[in-house]
Structure 1
Amino acid sequence: MAKYLISFPSAAMVVLDDEWEAVVRDSHAVIEEAKAAGVYVFGGGIDEDVLPVLVSADGTVTEGGYPWAPPLNGGFTVLELPSREDAVAWAARIAKACSCDQELRVFGFDPQS
C-alpha cells in the first residue's frame, strides 16, 4: 500500500457564496467515507494567515519560504491505498465534493522514516 497526496492550491477553489455550505458538507462526507474505509491518514489546509519561515541547518530563521518557489497553500488529504487506480477514484470523489480539480502524487517509501 502506498500513501497518496490529494491536493489543490487555494486559487483552484472558486466557489460561489451560496455553494459553500454544500461544498463543506460534501467534502466532509467524502473524508468520513475515507475514514470509515480505513484509508484516511490525515488532511487539512495550509493556514494562510500564518506566514512560513525558512529554517537553515544552523537554526537561522528567515521570514517567508523559498523565494524562488511558488507559494504552498490550499488543502490536502493523504490516503493510504492499494493502487494508483484507487487513488484516482478517491481524488475524483474529492474533486467532485470540493468543486475543483485535485493534484495526485504518491509518496516515496522510506523505511527509515
Structure 2
Amino acid sequence: MAKYLISFPSAAMLVTGDELLAAGRDAHAVIEEAKAAGVYVFAGGINESVAPVLVAADGAFAEGGYPWAPPLNGGFTVLELPTRDDAIAWAARIAQACRCEQELREFQFDPQS
C-alpha cells in the first residue's frame, strides 16, 4: 500500500465563523473514520504563528524558509491506501468536510526509511 499526502494551503479555506467551526467538526469526523478504517497515518496543520527556520548542513540557521518558495502552511493528512482511486475518494471526503479542494500526492517508498 502507498502513503498519500492530502493537503490544502490556508488561503484555500474561505470559510469563517460558524461555518469554520462546522468544517473543523466535519474534518475531525472524517479523520475518525480514517482511523476506524485503519488507513490513518497522521494529520495536522502547520502552526503559522511560529516562523520557519532555514537550517544549513553546518548547523547555521536563519529565520524564515526558502526566500524563493511560497510559504508552506495549511492542513495535511497522510493516509495509507491500496489504490490511487481510494486516495481520491478519501481526498474528496476531506474536501467536503473542509469546504475546499485538496491536493493529493503519493509518497515514494523508501525501503531505507
Residue type matched to 1:79 in 2? L
**Pairwise mapping of residues 64-75 of structure 1 onto structure 2 (< 5 A)?**
64-75=64-75
For residue 17 of structure 1, report the CA deviation from its aligned partner: 1.1
For residue 100 of structure 1, report the CA deviation from its aligned partner: 0.3
For residue 16 of structure 1, report the CA deviation from its aligned partner: 2.8
CA distance in 2 between partners of 1:103 and 1:13 (Å): 13
Task: Name the residue aligned to 1:53.
Answer: 53
Secondary structure of the equivalent of 2:57?
coil
Runs of 4+ residues deviating >4 angstroms: none
Q: Could you list the runs of 5+ residues in structure 2 that have no partner in the other structure?
A: none
Q: Encode CA deviations 1:51-89: one digit per residue, 9 max, x unaligned.
A: 000000000011100010000000000000000000000
Task: Name the residue aligned to 2:108.
Answer: 108
Return the TM-score normalized by structure 1.
0.98
Residue type matched to 2:74 in 1? G
Secondary structure of the equivalent of 1:58?
coil
- Determine what percentage of the aligned residue pairs are the same residue: 79
For residue 109 of structure 1, report the CA deviation from its aligned partner: 0.5
Task: Name the residue aligned to 2:39.
Answer: 39
Instruction: Out of 22-31 and 73-82, give the one that drifted further.
Output: 22-31
> Are 1:12 and 2:12 matched, yes or no?
yes
CA distance in 2 between partners of 1:93 and 1:107 (Å): 20
**Number of matched pairs:** 113
> Are 1:21 and 2:17 matched, yes or no?
no
Return the TM-score normalized by structure 2.
0.98
Secondary structure of the equivalent of 1:96?
helix
Q: Could you list the runs of 5+ residues in structure 1 that have no partner in the other structure?
A: none
CA distance in 2 between partners of 1:82 and 1:18 (Å): 36
> Are 1:76 and 2:39 matched, yes or no?
no
Instruction: Out of 20-29 and 82-91, give the one that drifted further.
Output: 20-29
